[in-house]
Structure 1
């Protein structure tokens, strides 16, 4: 099932406009996630909202927002007060300007979205705006209101559609000087640069996201399947210890000798719906136990007949 649109409205470039819908371009829903359960009962843990001092549960109607000024001192803000300052969404992404993509610092990017025509009308206007941005070779900058907050969005063509990237405001980006000022100014010799350049050339490749596998996620899938099947858990290999090379020049030379062409990572099998497709079905497909043997005991860590969530 296609995800629900996060926002619907209009995209406008001067007098040209069209209805559009904004969809998230990324998702974490296919990653393995866990619930917390009671070790003794196998029941899922439930969280309650309680008063930090009295320990008593607080009803939803009695909960309000507060800005912490100092220890145990808050400025209380009601829902009506927040509603009064909320920005009115015009339901329009107005393109304000066009900028070179290189001018957008990568630190300002928050998350990508797909902006698509909403409905059967407006495809012509959508195409005009998309191709104008493409022909300009720049990124269109606009604003939109999501959850009462105004966001900057950068629009650029992606095949036959538009990708919008939400951008941070300057006050949200930390100054690099706070972290880089203490880095020593080291003189790098030409010999070291030449050796390092050879290593880079040996490992040069084209970026193909599909050839990288989320090894930890795959290990989680294996762990869950093994426990559900009642088989013994297979230990995973340990990380290789680092080499104790003190001299940088020696390290570069050893890297070059042991280099050669960088081995290509194995391509993981294509998974249409993500890692969770690799989980065993709910019914399971266990091997029938031989008649002369007793039924296989439930694997340790699995609560028979109970579900965690």
Structure 2
């Protein structure tokens, strides 16, 4: 069983080195979302809505939104400093209470406790003391960077840590809407309801209860697999050398086309050929009277 936490639990002068293991697991059937067209899994990307760019983990910072679009930035160093100040591997049991005094609404998650090296005797001592007194221990501990209120009790010869909610995490029951006040209940109806409860009363056997939806879903999946009603995700096309060459050629052509108008502009700035042009213009001016026709007109008149 995977160890998710190591530390010590103390009560009085007794220190118990222990390991923490998850006591429960989520067995929900996880369904993937595929693209209907090609049966490929949908990829979820982190996109900045303003820059319209894909964001990597190195570009993400943590912040607290204290008002609409108003944030307080927090660095990893600041969070780590607070975490180290509040993380204490020694979990001290501060009180012992009756289990019946805690309403089940406070319970959150269960963890098994096992003794570490050299902690077997102290582990057995606490287990025996809790069994004989019928009490449970109330303690504080840090799990996954969060300070947890917890109780330590015995479950089938094993110490169990039950994390419980703080009082301010449990919502006020007075805020629940549409709760009817005391109504006039017919005595006969009440007696019939009590009789029904008595008929359905039994000892709690957890093996008796099963997740029927999950069972039916798994059976449906297995049936579809056996009938070859499956789909294979299409592979993303990989460009080969030919396409890479074509892309390079096309990119080169585009660069050449965009660079064309810039070349004549550069030639206009150069003044080297200017004197040659001036000489040609003067020659054209001198030859202009030779091409004129007034002499021909005089000959025709004569």
> Is TM more than 0.5 here?
yes
Where does the alignment leave 5 or more consecutive residues of structure 1 unmatched? 231-297
The equivalent residue for 2:89 is: 91
Match of 2:289 in 1: none
TM-score, normalized by length of structure 2?
Answer: 0.72
Q: Secondary structure at the match of 2:160?
A: strand
Is 1:33 matched up with 2:30?
A: yes
Residue 191 of structure 1 pairs with residue 188 of structure 2: yes
* 2:91 paired with 1:75: no
1:15 matched to 2:17? The reply is: no
CA-to-partner distance for each residue in 1:192-227, whole Å, 9 max, x for gaps?
211111211222222212122211101111111121
Quote how far apart the aligned CAs of 1:228 are: 0.9
User: Is the aligned partner of 1:155 residue 2:152?
Assistant: yes
Kindly provide the CA deviation profile for residues 26-53 of structure 1, in whole angstroms up to 9, marking residues without a partner as x.
Answer: 001x432122222222222222111022
Higher normalized contact order (CA 8 Å, seq sep 6+, divided by chain length): 1
Q: How many residues align?
A: 234
Tell me how far 1:55 sits from its aligned partner.
Answer: 2.1
Q: Which has the larger radius of gyration?
A: 2
CA–CA distance in structure 2, aligned partners of residues 304 and 63 of structure 1: 34
In the alignment, the residues of structure 2 paired with residue 162 and residue 60 of structure 1 have an alpha-carbon distance, to the nearest angstrom, of: 39
- For residues 259-289 of structure 1, give each alpha carbon's deviation from its aligned partner in whole angstroms, at most 9, with x where no partner exists: xxxxxxxxxxxxxxxxxxxxxxxxxxxxxxx
Aligned to 1:303: 231
Q: Which of 198, 205, 217 is residue 202 of structure 2 equivalent to?
A: 205
How far did 1:70 drift?
2.8
Task: State the 1:71 CA deviation.
Answer: 2.7
- Residue of structure 2 equivalent to 1:56: 53
**Counterparts in 2 of 1:169 and 1:305: CA distance versus 1, 3 Å:** closer
Residue in 2 that maps onto 1:272: none
- CA distance in structure 2 between the aligned counterparts of 1:127 and 1:53, rounded to whole angstroms: 59
Unaligned runs of 5+ in 2: 236-302
SS at match of 1:157: strand
C-alpha deviation, 1:69, in angstroms: 2.6
SS at match of 1:27: coil
**What CA distance in whole angstroms lies between the structure 2 residues aligned with 1:303 and 1:223?**
15
Cα deviation for residue 109 of structure 1 reads 0.7
2:140 aligned partner:
143
Distance 2:211 2:119 in 1: 40
Q: Deviations over 1:149-190 (max 9, x none)?
A: 211110111222111100111110001111167423202232
- Structure with the higher helix share, 1 or 2: 2
3-state SS of paired residue (1:114): strand
Q: Which runs of 4+ in 1 moved over 4 A?
A: 304-307
Shift of 1:18: 1.9
Contact 2:127 2:158 in 1 (8 A): yes
Is the deviation greater in 19-28 or in 80-89? 80-89
- Which structure 2 residues correspond to residues 114-193 of structure 1 after superposition, within 5 A? 114-119=112-117, 121-179=118-176, 182-193=179-190
| Residues 1:100 and 1:188: Cα distance change in structure 2 (over 3 Å) | same
